[in-house]
């Protein structure tokens, strides 16, 4: 039996995690690694991460899409691009993983 990456303890979505994630998003937006439209959705996803994500109704009212489509859009907005620096790609990848875990927890 080998140790898998899923054996790691789940991420804790504390207020400190949220502040850190929002600061990383500031940097990503300042370096044009995420669009303004994507940032709006990513911020919402970060703010709701400690609660396992928003409800279908909350997402539909705010963005006009299903919860699944919303997460698809968030992850697409954070998708690493080959032209980005390794640091930016790593930041985006980690944020994708964290948000996917948090929103799938519900």
Give tens-digit pLDDT for 92-106: 999 999 999 999 854
* Nearest by Cα to 46 from 69, 14, 3: 14
55 neighbors 12 (Cβ within 8 angstroms) = no
Q: Which residue has the higher pLDDT, 8 or 82?
A: 82
User: pTM, whole model, 2 decimals?
Assistant: 0.83
Q: Rounded mean pLDDT of 33-61?
A: 94
User: Would you list the domain boundaries of the chain?
Assistant: 13-104
Average pLDDT, the chain: 88
Q: Rounded mean pLDDT of 12-29?
A: 91
Question: What angle is formed at CA 105 by the lines to CA 71 and CA 90, rounded to 5 degrees?
Answer: 55
Q: What is the pLDDT of residues 58-89, one digit of tens each?
A: 999 999 999 999 999 999 999 999 899 999 99
What does the pLDDT read at residue 2?
Answer: 42
Q: What DSSP state is assigned to residue 47?
A: H
What does the pLDDT read at residue 105?
Answer: 56
Please state, in angstroms and rounded to a whole number, the distance separating the CA atoms of residues 56 and 84.
33
Q: Per the structure block, which two tokens stand in for 81?
A: 């691009």
């Amino acid at each position: 039996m080998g140790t898998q990456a899923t054996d790691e303890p789940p991420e804790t979505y504390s207020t400190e995690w949220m502040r850190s994630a929002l600061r990383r998003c500031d940097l990503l937006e300042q370096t044009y690694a995420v669009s303004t439209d994507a940032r709006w959705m990513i911020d919402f996803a970060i703010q709701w991460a400690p609660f396992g994500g928003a409800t279908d109704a909350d997402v539909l009212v705010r963005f006009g899409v299903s919860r699944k489509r919303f997460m698809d859009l968030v992850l697409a907005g954070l998708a690493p691009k080959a032209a980005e620096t390794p640091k930016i790609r790593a930041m985006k990848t980690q944020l994708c993983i964290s948000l996917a875990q948090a929103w799938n927890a519900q």
